[in-house]
Amino acid sequence: MRPTVDRSAPEMSRPGNPRAMSGPMTGDRGDRLDRLDRLDRHPGPRTRQVDPRPADLAPRATNLNLYPGTRVVVPPAWNRCTNQPDLGYWRRRDIMAEIQWLSRRGFVPVTPLGDTVEALTDYVQVPSGWRAYGIAVPVGGTVQIEVQHANLGWFRLMLVDKWGQPGRGMMQAAYAPQPILVSYKNPNKEATAVYVIVDDPAWWSDAKNPYTLAVRRDWDPAKADLGKVKMVAGLWGASPSVSAEFRGPSLTGPAVYPH
């Protein structure tokens, strides 16, 4: 004898309906989703702000501090990396998304580098685990930036434009699995600024064990007019690193902070 089907029951609850057996509204999961739906419609005292950042960053504080007297944000903490990063880790650690999130609350700190700086020693901010530098590049000029450290497998470099995104001429560096050396040739019709991010999620660099950032240019700084390049542009705000020590033929200029 064929089983009797109650046609008056809602379609989702009718026996034999595959959606009733495997759909999201059955069993414990369905009860849980139903409760969440009721909370969404009647949140009452349970209302909370939802952090738009990736799930592994969600527990972090949503209130940011600013450097005194400025609108430059203090980058907040990331969980310290305790195992050597693999490709999956680097994908989850989305610095570009972090920069975009920070820029909605203020300017992102960057240390401008003078035209004659050939190298610097420094270490990342803790507990954020990264630091950014700005470099001016003339039309057609090529700059190469390399990070050097005893524990190099834990580092990577990223190259972005004034909006915190990989712009023209930066895509190769943006999609490399773990670059420790990046190159950029200015394809624009005017001199521009690029921003390199040193990412050290395990905090291997510190005052006793800093990294070295080497900057190699294919132009003569004395012959290139880069005075009109705005390093503080887009979402970047100048916040010179107090821990950096610069090396080059000259330590003078408006964008160099010698020690």
User: Which whole number is the average pLDDT over 124-142?
Assistant: 95
What pLDDT shows up at residue 247?
Answer: 87
Q: Which residues pair with 158 in a beta bridge?
A: 197
Q: What is the mean pLDDT of the chain?
A: 78
pTM over 0.95: no
Look at residues 188, 180, 126 and name the one whose alpha carbon lies nearest to residue 157: 180
pLDDT band at 64 (very low <50, low <70, confident <90, very high): confident
What pLDDT shows up at residue 50?
Answer: 34
pLDDT band at 23 (very low <50, low <70, confident <90, very high): very low
Report the C-alpha gap between 77 and 74 in whole angstroms.
10
User: What percent of the chain stands above pLDDT 70?
Assistant: 71
pLDDT band at 113 (very low <50, low <70, confident <90, very high): very high
Residue 68 corresponds to which tokens in the numbers above? 């005194």
CA distances from 66 to 17, 51, 127 (A): 57, 19, 15
pLDDT tens for each residue of 84-102: 999 899 989 999 999 999 9
Asked if omega into 249 is within 30° of 0 (cis), the reply is no
Burial class (CB in 10 A: 0-12, 13-18, 19+), 148: middle
Look at residues 155, 150, 149, 148 and name the one whose alpha carbon lies nearest to residue 85: 155
Residue 208 has pLDDT above 90, yes or no: yes
Q: What is the C-alpha R_g of the chain? A: 25
Through-space distance between the first and last CA atoms of the chain, rounded to whole angstroms: 92
